[in-house]
Structure 1
Amino acid sequence: MRRAAAAVAVFVGLTAVAACGPDDPAPAKAAPAASTTPAADSSASAGTSGPAPAPLPTKGGAPRPDGTITVALAGDVHFEGRTQSRLSVQPPEPALGPISRTLAEADLSVLNLETAITGRGAPEPKTYTFRTTPKALSVLKDSGVDVVSMANNHAVDFGADGLTDTLAAKDSSPIPVVGVGHNAKEAYAPYVTTVRGVKVAVVAASQVEDITNQKWRAGANKPGIASALDVPALVAAVQAAKQQAPVVIVYLHWGEEGKACPTGPQTAVAKKLAAAGASAVVGTHAHTMVGSGMLGSTYVGYGFGNFLWYGTSNYAFSNETGVTTLTLSADGKVTGEAFAPALIDDKGIPQPVTGAAADAALKRRDGLRGCAGLTPPPAAH
């Protein structure tokens, strides 16, 4: 695993890095990231010699005595460029590397797959376009992922044909896909499941103002993504989900690239979704981590950053990532939060960090809360 030259910086009034536009960063040399102490089993996932990883824990189980469940949340995933080979890893090695264990240990885990699932279609007129195969959904399942959001600015990178294939992949997926559908009703519909006796709903939408949200927003009789720009539709979706489940997780694609503080549209919609009954409102898009914490009784994570990342980035701290695990009560309240920090290595894989490096990463991450207007969440026990 590559070791960057700089030590983890303690957050001291982090200056936002200018974004280059409404799309993804050019694959240029990344800014120096934090030095790390890798987890003991990271060598196998990083492609070096070492013992094979142990199989991941099996999901499920009886209700806990206190009625709580855990939900793990992570950022953006691509299977392009340097991460395309992760589609071919053989069990028990997971495509997401050793941090898959953190996802698998949670009762439910959710992240964002930022790509079309197709081998057809013409690329949309945008700078960066991404595609993968349906196998991406299988390897994510094998990495401990339970639900995938595809409400983002790259889900329809290959036009109508690509969208047809993406929806076909969703229809036959081994794990639920939210935020995209054959029509608006399906795109905004929650995935509802029962986890350790507790009903959970997951809703997804994109707030990114780009060609995808303009051209490929789902309608009454039109396939596409769920849009968070249609605030009334998103609020109604969350309210409907709350009628079906006490725990409602809203996963958004939002924020401004390279900015470590939330935007006005982010904070505005977070307040509306909290009022609508969301237990947690979280998401990605900025290519860097953004503040997280409590907005009243609702957990808000404004940016989880990159996770399995196809290329390098111009943005500072773009290799910093991790998994956030929330503990929630049976009535949908967040009773604890834990963060497992990681650093994206030169193969694009999120490698866990430990010891002093992990402590420093956690301190910097918590410091990002300062400009987010959030209060500290309760610690997990």
Structure 2
Amino acid sequence: MSAAVLRLAVRVARGLLRDFLPLLVGLLVATLSSGAYAGDEDCGGDGPAFASLYQRDDLFRQALADAENASVSPRRLSGVTVPHHLLAGHLIAEGIKAVSGVRYKRAVVLFPDHFRDTETMFATTRRDFDTVFGRLAIDGEAVAGLLARGGEVIDARSCLFGRDHGLQAILPFLRHFLPGVRVVPVAVSIASRRRDWERLAAALGPLADADTLIVQSTDFSHYLPHHAARRHDQQTLNLIAAGTFDQIARLRQPEHVDSLGALYVQLKLQREVHGAAALVVANENSQQYDPLPADETTSYMVVLFGPIPQDEPAPARRGTRHLYLGGDTSFGRAMMKALLDERASARIETEILQRTEGRPLVVNLEGVVLPNLPEGLGHMTLAMPQDLTLAWLKRLNVAAVSLANNHARDLGEGGLAETRRALETAGIVALGQGELAVIEDVELVALTDLDVNGSYRNDLITPDVLARLSGRPAERPLVALVHWGREYATDPGARERYLADELSRRGVAGLFGGHSHAASPAMQALAGGDTLHLYSLGNFLFDQGADKASGALVELTAFDQGTVFARLMPLPNLFELARAEAGAQQDGKSSSDR
């Protein structure tokens, strides 16, 4: 036997022992010990509690230990999505722990019918469950209400609820973290379709009150090598961020997720019943746990749903990093005067850092940075004092700036060179046209389609510039910061739509624009989720009032496996806040003088 064949055999054997033996042993022991699942015995109706599929608690206790430092949400959440492979038991534990800060009356558990045992599209049970941590009771009243609706959900005659790991792997964690909660398990047929999911969401709607937690037990990309799984996960992440049901319904099962129905129903209930935001806090792949390459992998996600404030940063977690993207920024003209006021400066710093927590930030820096500003500059020639600009960039932990815009050459090539020197001396990455940098494991590229200020050229992103983005390694996500379009527009024109399609075809996972000074209200997913697109971030720090300008941040959560989740965070008009604080301080001084 060759060394290569031997290594493959060892890997396969190790994978089988690790992933499937506990499941098979648990099923065999449960079957032999209770006789409950032998032959064609009817498991419908009232009866004894289902025996635990798992007879040992060591896998669960190890997962609990791995999640010991995981955070608990400070607010009541309405839903959570977790895996059901115990290989990713630490993620199950982290997800259920996150919701454990409050008490829930019931937990509705949506899981895939792996063994295709449902007689219709959805099934539930009236039996309780024994777990390795004790008994978990059914919410009999809620189950009876579902069954009384006339066919959407049936009482399963098969014994799937006692042997399907999609449910059984979750129950011990619910018993541990949510003592006293009652469960409403719902098996979702793999054969179900969108019209069925809509009916199930309607049936579950009356149960989804403030005392109910919706638990979606699903694994994501299946049976693909890691590079393909990574791409499918990125598509799913982008569609969750964009939140479009038509696109979600077109995901493929199991290439994207092992229960598209459970994902759809979860998102539907969270959006339409709770008005809840989605926050993906983990995305891992089984390849990350195996040093040898695998032909087939499985991906896992943890998603939290609830009244998560848009200005609240994502929680820190091992295996993730965070990066923030801001829009048009200039520390010159009236912005400079406002920031020289101590009270205004403190207010602006607070507004920004409460959203970023001082994590790395990237902005579009419009204008020239000079040690001394020349007199008599025209209003549309943007220049910034070096000391003030660098101090603020450091104060906000700006890791990189884009100079790919129509103001970077306002004082010619010499002004651009002076700006680059100042930034690089301060340790801040300066990105020009088509230049790339890796920040927090996200690969950024800066692009501008606009020439110098006052020029009408809007064709600088040429085929040659685009071609340089092709053929990159896919180990990390590529995010483009693009200066384009029309001022004060929030939607792309024909040129921008063309460029967005071209960038999507070249593997850009996130596409975020600048120049318009007005923030777009929502992100869109292109090409089935290949690219998440926001036409304009609007202003970050720029001296324009709220009558014409607005701004937003994008929070990027980068995961070790090479994917990224984006979240839109609206900003107040920081220029007006600064002016208001400066004016209030001046009024206070005037009053004290009288």
- Structures share a fold, TM > 0.5? yes
* Cα distance change of structure 1 residues 283 and 138 upon mapping to structure 2, 3 Å threshold: farther
Match of 1:275 in 2: 505
Identity over the aligned pairs, expressed in percent? 24
Give the partner amino acid of 1:341. Answer: L
Match of 1:171 in 2: 424
Q: Is the Cα contact below 8 Å between 2:344 and 2:578 reproduced in 1?
A: no
Give RMSD over aligned pairs.
3.6
Offset of residue 131 of structure 1: 0.4
- Quote the Cα distance in structure 1 between the aligned partners of 2:560 and 2:481: 20
The answer to which structure, 1 or 2, has the higher relative contact order (CA under 8 A, 6+ apart) is 1
Give the partner amino acid of 2:525. Answer: M
- Quote the Cα distance in structure 2 between the aligned partners of 1:334 and 1:273: 17
Q: Which of 408, 424, 438 is equivalent to 1:155?
A: 408
Give the partner amino acid of 1:202. Answer: L
Q: Is the Cα contact below 8 Å between 1:156 and 1:163 reproduced in 2?
A: yes
Cα deviation code 1:208-243 (max 9, x no counterpart): 25558799xxxxxxxxxxx97233333234336x43
* Cα distance change of structure 1 residues 201 and 157 upon mapping to structure 2, 3 Å threshold: same
Offset of residue 76 of structure 1: 0.9
Offset of residue 74 of structure 1: 1.5
* Cα distance change of structure 1 residues 344 and 90 upon mapping to structure 2, 3 Å threshold: closer
Secondary structure in 2 aligned to 1:289? Answer: coil
Match of 1:323 in 2: 553
Q: Is the Cα contact below 8 Å between 2:554 and 2:566 reproduced in 1?
A: no
- Quote the Cα distance in structure 2 between the aligned partners of 1:81 and 1:92: 16
Q: Is the Cα contact below 8 Å between 1:120 and 1:161 reproduced in 2?
A: no
Q: Which of 447, 465, 469 is equivalent to 1:238?
A: 469
Q: How does 1:167-206 map to 2 (within 5 A)?
A: 167-179=420-432, 187-193=433-439, 195=440, 199-206=441-448
* Cα distance change of structure 1 residues 317 and 130 upon mapping to structure 2, 3 Å threshold: closer
- Quote the Cα distance in structure 2 between the aligned partners of 1:77 and 1:336: 21
- Quote the Cα distance in structure 2 between the aligned partners of 1:348 and 1:309: 11
Secondary structure in 1 aligned to 2:572? Answer: strand
Q: Which consecutive unaligned segments of at least 5 residues does structure 2 have?
A: 1-314, 582-594
Q: Which of 44, 64, 68 is equivalent to 2:320?
A: 68
* Cα distance change of structure 1 residues 303 and 312 upon mapping to structure 2, 3 Å threshold: same
Q: Is the Cα contact below 8 Å between 2:345 and 2:578 reproduced in 1?
A: no
Offset of residue 89 of structure 1: 6.7
State yes or no: 1:248 paired with 2:478.
Answer: yes
Q: Is the Cα contact below 8 Å between 2:401 and 2:428 reproduced in 1?
A: yes
Q: Which of 490, 493, 505 is equivalent to 1:260?
A: 490
Q: Which of 270, 275, 298 is equivalent to 2:531?
A: 298
Cα deviation code 1:274-314 (max 9, x no counterpart): 2211221112111212252222232211101122122448x
Secondary structure in 1 aligned to 2:560? Answer: coil
* Cα distance change of structure 1 residues 93 and 237 upon mapping to structure 2, 3 Å threshold: farther
* Cα distance change of structure 1 residues 204 and 255 upon mapping to structure 2, 3 Å threshold: same
- Quote the Cα distance in structure 1 between the aligned partners of 2:317 and 2:541: 32
Give the partner amino acid of 2:448. Answer: S
Offset of residue 245 of structure 1: 5.1
Q: How does 1:117-156 map to 2 (within 5 A)?
A: 117-118=369-370, 119=372, 128-135=380-387, 136-156=389-409
Q: Is the Cα contact below 8 Å between 2:405 and 2:448 reproduced in 1?
A: yes
State yes or no: 1:309 paired with 2:542.
Answer: yes
TM-score (norm 1): 0.58
Offset of residue 82 of structure 1: 2.1
Secondary structure in 1 aligned to 2:470? Answer: helix
- Quote the Cα distance in structure 1 between the aligned partners of 2:473 and 2:538: 31
Say how many residue pairs are matched: 262
TM-score (norm 2): 0.39
Offset of residue 154 of structure 1: 0.7
- Quote the Cα distance in structure 2 between the aligned partners of 1:102 and 1:233: 41
* Cα distance change of structure 1 residues 324 and 336 upon mapping to structure 2, 3 Å threshold: closer
- Quote the Cα distance in structure 2 between the aligned partners of 1:174 and 1:92: 26
Give the partner amino acid of 2:395. Answer: D
Q: Is the Cα contact below 8 Å between 2:405 and 2:450 reproduced in 1?
A: yes
* Cα distance change of structure 1 residues 312 and 335 upon mapping to structure 2, 3 Å threshold: closer
* Cα distance change of structure 1 residues 270 and 107 upon mapping to structure 2, 3 Å threshold: farther
Give the partner amino acid of 2:361. Answer: S
* Cα distance change of structure 1 residues 81 and 239 upon mapping to structure 2, 3 Å threshold: same
- Quote the Cα distance in structure 2 between the aligned partners of 1:120 and 1:237: 36
Q: Is the Cα contact below 8 Å between 2:442 and 2:558 reproduced in 1?
A: no
* Cα distance change of structure 1 residues 82 and 123 upon mapping to structure 2, 3 Å threshold: closer
State yes or no: 1:115 paired with 2:367.
Answer: yes
Give the partner amino acid of 1:309. Answer: F
Give the partner amino acid of 2:429. Answer: P
- Quote the Cα distance in structure 2 between the aligned partners of 1:336 and 1:252: 16
Give the partner amino acid of 1:191. Answer: A
Secondary structure in 1 aligned to 2:495? Answer: helix
* Cα distance change of structure 1 residues 73 and 171 upon mapping to structure 2, 3 Å threshold: closer
Q: Is the Cα contact below 8 Å between 2:348 and 2:578 reproduced in 1?
A: no
Match of 1:346 in 2: 576
